[in-house]
Amino acid sequence: MMILRSSPPSPFGRKVKIAAALLGLDKEITIEKTDTTDASDTIRKQNPLGKIPALILEDGSVLHDSPVILDYLDHRAGGAKIIPSEPNARYAALTLQSLCDGVLDACLLQVYEGRWRPAEKHEKKWVDYQAEKVNAKFFIVGPADVLKRYEREVEKAPFRRIKAKYSFRSYDELQEMFESTTRYREVSDHFLG
């Protein structure tokens, strides 16, 4: 059994959970809740950067960050399932992943402004700059019929609320939306047949 160090609201952790489900590997992974803000959490030993997600393999070795974990899961599932092997398709997929990760980073930087700095020190220019990246680049790739059904949920995506509130509560709302709307298996069937 592999162990995924993650936390329910973590977008990068959810990315790994979705990949595992798409690849049919979710039953081989136990999720161990992690608090990256807790200095005594073992994540800081497992990943010297103290970041989640981190995937602990059966032999005790630790993989991070999420692109590395996805690459490993794809390999473990037989290869070229979510990351193509043909060079053009492969580098297009990896670049798309990098873009999506960048959007998540821009979301997190807005959240961290609220989490780590007192309200009077929030730098609006910085937060707006990150929000621009999210607003400009946020999109979903997939078959039209699947997207149609998710459109309504995307409209409800609370990124703007995160921007407005910088609070854990908004993040919890994001998590709630995710739990109520994401159907891993359904998505898996559409994307992988």
In this chain, which stretch among 50-58, 113-121, 124-132, 146-154 interacts with ligand GSH, using CB under 6 A?
Answer: 50-58
In this chain, which stretch among 49-57, 74-82, 124-132, 183-191 interacts with ligand GSH, using CB under 6 A?
Answer: 49-57
CA gap 21, 14 in Å, rounded:
10
Q: Quick check: helix, strand or coil at residue 163?
A: helix
Closest to 146 measured CA to CA, from 183, 177, 105: 183
54: left (phi over 0), alpha (psi -120 to 50) or beta: beta
Q: What is the CA radius of gyration of the chain?
A: 17
**Number of residues counted as binding ligand GSH (CB under 6 A):** 13
**Residue span 17-36 as binding mask against ligand GSH, x where in contact by CB under 6 A, dash where not:** -------------------x
Asked if 66 is part of the footprint of ligand GSH (rule: CB under 6 A), the reply reads yes
Asked if 11 is part of the footprint of ligand GSH (rule: CB under 6 A), the reply reads yes
- Contact positions toward ligand GSH, by CB under 6 A? 10-12, 36, 50-53, 65-67, 101, 108
